Every structure is written in C-alpha cells, then in structure tokens.
Structure 1
C-alpha cells in the first residue's frame, strides 16, 4: 500500500514538471489532476480547480472571458465532435495544440494535454514562404526573359524610325517610347536580380570614396525634389571588401527611398538627408537618415519582404535585393523610423584590418 502511494506521488511529480499542460477527468467527469503548466495557461490560482467538473470550470469567476471561450471551443471540437486534436491561437499570439486521450485505454477517464507549438508554426510558415518565394523567383525569371527579347526588338525598330519621326516633328514620341522601354527593362533587371543575384566582384572599397561618389550622383536629383544631402566628414581610412557596383546600388537605393519619403510628407519643411559612417570595433556603420514621412511598425515588419512596397509604381524589390547584397557581404541592415519624423538606415559591414 505504501509503495502504491509512493509510486502515485512519483508519477504526479513527473507530470507536474513536464512542459505540456495536463488535465485529468475521471469517469464521473470530476477533475482529479491539473499540473502547474495548465494552471499557468488558464491564469488561475493553484489547486482552485480540483474536484470540479467541466461545467464548474467554465463557470469559475476567476477564468477570463477569452480563456473560457478557448476551453469551450476545445471541449466542443474534441469531446462533442470526436476530434483527437485541436489547434488555436491565444490572445498573446501563441499557437497551442490540445490533445484528448480517452476510451478503453483510459478506463473511462479523459486526459487533456496542452502544448505550445509556436516554434513549430514559425518553422512551418518560414518553409512555406521560402518554397513560395523560390517558385515565384523561377516564374518571374522565365517571364522576364520572355519579355526582354521582344522589348529589345521594339527598341531597335524605334531607333530605326527615329529619323522619320524627326522629319514629321514627332521626335518626342520616340523619346517617350524609348524611355518607357528602358524603364520596363529596369524592372525586369530587378526581377532577375531578386531571383538570382550575381556573385560579387570582390575588390577593396574605401568607404569615404563610395559615399562621396553616391552623394555626387544624387545631389542634383535631391535639389530638384527640394532635399538637402549632407555628407558627414569621415574619421580615418575605412576600407571594406566587396563588389563596388553592388554596394553603390544599395546606398543609392536607400538615398532615393529617402527622397521619396521627403516628397510624400505633406507639411512645409526643409527635407534633409544625412549620410555618414563611423568605425565600431571591427565593423563600419554606414548611416543614411532622413526627416521624411517615416513608417509605422506594420510597414517596418515587412520592409525587406520581396514584392512589398508602399509606392504606387514600386516593384517592392529594391530593399529586398539590397538586404540580400549586404548579407552576401557578411553584413546586415537595420532600420528605425517614426511616422512624420523620419527614418534611419544603418548598414553594418566588416572592415579590412
């Protein structure tokens, strides 16, 4: 008898310390065991449920309205509809799987097991997203190749017709058509780059020379859009290793996004873009900040997702490609922003010692 009681205590201690939540109802429907994980999920005081039935549990005044709904739905799905498992999301955004064990093997008792599966769901969603993006990348690459060939032919014929249009006084038509073809080719190039970025052509890049060249390229465009670009003086020689063209593409893309953010802000103010870099240990931090319209948290969370854009004519590939380029160079991009205050990008890259 003493040994039987001792074994029962041991089993209860084991069940008390497992990660899953446990509720055991006997053949009369009375709750005879609940472990601390289940109490934590229900957000109830310890040992406040022992001896009650499911009806009493649902009527417990300490049980919140949301928890009552979750327990009731799980009970209906598994007991009434004879489903062995039931998955749901709680009010904190966590994923849970409830499992019911009953029948002859339980001798009339009902065992409810609750396990958090948020990590599994995240892995599942990431795998699904990666598969979708891989398929989309292949599809976009094949479509882009098919579109690029006729565009090249059209561009050639327009150039041949250019003298005739000039004689008719319609030369501007040829310029518009050529500009639109070039814009379409640029979009196709972005698609191809996002689906299969080219390997970096590695060279030594002085950070100061890189930023000076990019600022020089964008100064006139910024003035036309009512912006000022300020290049902060750099301290010391900072050199990174990588593809100069790809690095220039990343910085240009972020500066042009900053210009767009400034022009989209409605109030009257002077648009400013600050560009600079500083050494932090074995890395360089290149920063690009603006006082444009800023972004909310929802936009920030999706900012580097392929094909996500807030622009009317955007492709949603610029920042996605930039993020991939920086990662290929062993670095990372971080961003902070506030609505109607501005945005700050920081590109972190390893330095050549």
Structure 2
C-alpha cells in the first residue's frame, strides 16, 4: 500500500513537471514568436523609414552632438555634389566646401534652437555654387540634446529665375532711360566729327594734324560705343518661329573655322541638337558672339584654337544645352560673376558688350547662360534653352 502511494506520488510529480515543462516551453515559443514578430515589425519600420529618407526630394542631414554625420540622403548628396556614403565621418570633413551649411547646423547645435527657412549660398566640391533653403531643428531626448536634423532644398533655379526677371526689368528701364540721352550724345559726337572733317589736314600746320586726327578717331570710336550700347539697351523685336539649333551651331562654327584652321586649330560640332521657339537672327548672333569670343581668347593667348560646340537634349525636362568650350587661358574666378555685365571686358580693345548681349538674347528666350572653366582648362560657356513643344 505504501509503495503504491509512493508510485502514485511520483507519477503525479512527473505529470506536474511535464505540465510545467510543456507550459514553459509553450511560453518560450510564444515569446520567441512575439520577439520575431517584433523584430520583423522593427525591420519593416526601419526599411520604410530608410525608403522614405531615400525617396524624399529634399536634402536630409542628421548630425550627432559629436558633429558626426549619421544620415545624408541621396537627394542631399546630389545637391551638394558628394559621392559615396558620408555616414560616420565628421560634418566638417564631409561638408568642407559647404561652409555656410556647416555654420547654420553648428548654430543650431550650439544654441539648441531651430533655424527656420534660412537661405544661403554655398560652394560645391566640384566647383560652382548652390543656393539652398535650409531649416535645422535640434534632436532632443528628454531634456538632453542628441544632435540636429537639417532639411534643405535647392533654390538655384528659383534664384536664377529671379535674377532673370530682374535682368529683364533692368533692360526695360535701361532702354527707356538711355535711349533719349544716347541719341543726343550721338548727335553731338556726329557734329564734332563733322566739324573735324571740315579741317583740311593738308592745309593745317604739321603740329596740329595729330590733334585733329585724334579728334576724328576718338569721336568715331565713341560713336561706335554709343551705337553698340543703343543696340544692347533697346528692346528686341523678336520674330518667333521653330529654330533648329543644329543649323545655328554649324553656322557659328563655319564663321570662324577658316581662321582657326589657319592658326593650327579647328572648330568641331558634336552632340544632339533639338528645336527651340525663338528668333533665328538673334540666336545666330548670340552663338556667333560666343564662338568669336572663344577664338579671340585663344588669339590673345597665342594658342592654336580648339573650339568645341556640344549639344545635349533633356527630353524629360524639355531643355536643350549647348556648350561652347575652348582651350584658351580660361576665366579667372574673380571675374566670373561679372562676365556678363555691360562694358566689362578683360580684352585690351574689347567693348564689354559681346557677352552681355549673349545673356540678353538668351534670357529673352527664357533660357540661362553660365560660365566656368573646363576640366582640361579653357573657358566653358553653357546655354540652356527650353525646347519647342510643338
């Protein structure tokens, strides 16, 4: 009897232990499944967050309180001209050329305050500048600051459009203001020049001849300057029609090819050229000025000219790019911003209206023109025009 009770007790204990083990095992399985589900949800959430960061068109920069970059999304890297993954590197190392952006993030980190809608101009690693609209906010964990998050957008196109509108307005005001004054000035020069012509050089004392000839030469030079300025300042009366830019490029190249070849160089045309809605005469004049400007730059530097006209079409954006590049001395960075100003020139005998006229023509065609130095040296002037949508 006693043995039976013992056996029954052992069996009950074993059953209880098995029940406990089964229960614990079931709980472990449930907990493991819950952990796996939580891990999957966390991974899915992380993937979604990364997809959102990678997909937004604005730049997103996250910097820790140690000034190390935690995140810089593809749009941000593209705007700043950065290659590779900058995560894990210091902010100053990654954004070395973009010092204004570094400064505004540093301002937020130091003050623990948000910087709202700041507009700044910053340099790019490959050269050039970008206009950015920036908002920076601190990242806080309770009362302590963990870093800063910076959202930024590329405002270069907006700034460029504003500059074009100001330029058009300035041209209109300039034309109204100067037309009458320049006309009277030209009449006065014509009178002085005419009176100087009445003086017979053969009958003048030898000492006076150089002075009279000087009056004639200078009044003629001033008359030409006034005429060029009037042509620049007056509003263009455009005759719009579809214009094939391949023909514009070929004609501009043909105008200077013989001189370039005679000096041991050449002019080439390559790439894709579309059609724009514009004034063919004005567009011819603009690209003729660009090609001749390139030829003169090589001539002044005593270099056998190598001038290339390249075209590319962006059908998604509906834009045409035409680049005129040369192998001349290039453009000094200190004068790049003034290249298209009226009367600014680096040439001994230049009028300073050639490139200004190019910009005027391009802007009136709702385009833009930029200047930079090529990778192999020489100047590189790029004209961007909207394609004809007909």
What's the TM-score once normalised by structure 1's chain length?
Answer: 0.52
1:200 maps onto 2:200 in alignment: no
**Contact 1:288–1:344 (Cα < 8 Å) also in 2:** yes
**Contact 1:231–1:274 (Cα < 8 Å) also in 2:** yes
Given candidates 151, 159, 169, the residue that maps to 1:116 is 151
Counterparts of 2:322 and 2:119, CA distance in 1 = 43
Larger radius of gyration: 2
**Contact 2:61–2:150 (Cα < 8 Å) also in 1:** no
**Contact 1:227–1:273 (Cα < 8 Å) also in 2:** no
Aligned-residue offset at 1:253: 0.9
1:181 maps onto 2:223 in alignment: yes
Counterparts of 1:344 and 1:63, CA distance in 2 = 34
Given candidates 251, 255, 260, the residue that maps to 1:214 is 255
1:165 maps onto 2:210 in alignment: no
Counterparts of 1:137 and 1:150, CA distance in 2 = 20
Residues 154-207 of structure 1: CA deviation (Å, up to 9, x unaligned): 1331243134333544245223212222123213422x15xx433136598866
Give the match's secondary structure for 1:144.
helix
Aligned to 1:28: none
What is the root-mean-square deviation in Å for CA atoms of aligned residues? Answer: 6.1
Aligned to 1:252: 288
Counterparts of 2:89 and 2:321, CA distance in 1 = 50
Residues 278-299 of structure 1: CA deviation (Å, up to 9, x unaligned): 999x999988654321346x58
Aligned to 1:49: none
Aligned-residue offset at 1:257: 1.0
Cα separation, partners in 2 of 1:157 and 1:64, compared to 1, 3 Å: same
Give the match's secondary structure for 1:175.
helix
**Contact 1:158–1:178 (Cα < 8 Å) also in 2:** no
Given candidates 175, 178, 195, the residue that maps to 1:144 is 178
Aligned-residue offset at 1:245: 3.2
Tell me which of the two structures has the higher relative contact order, counting C-alpha pairs closer than 8 angstroms and 6 or more residues apart. 1
**Contact 1:308–1:317 (Cα < 8 Å) also in 2:** yes
Residues 14-65 of structure 1: CA deviation (Å, up to 9, x unaligned): 9x94979xxxxxxxxxxxxxx99555984259xxxxxxxxxxxxxxxx8848
1:98 maps onto 2:136 in alignment: yes
- Consecutive unaligned residues in structure 2, runs of 5 or more: 1-37, 54-59, 72-87, 94-101, 125-129
Counterparts of 2:324 and 2:107, CA distance in 1 = 50
Counterparts of 1:277 and 1:84, CA distance in 2 = 43
Aligned-residue offset at 1:339: 7.7
Give the match's secondary structure for 2:200.
helix
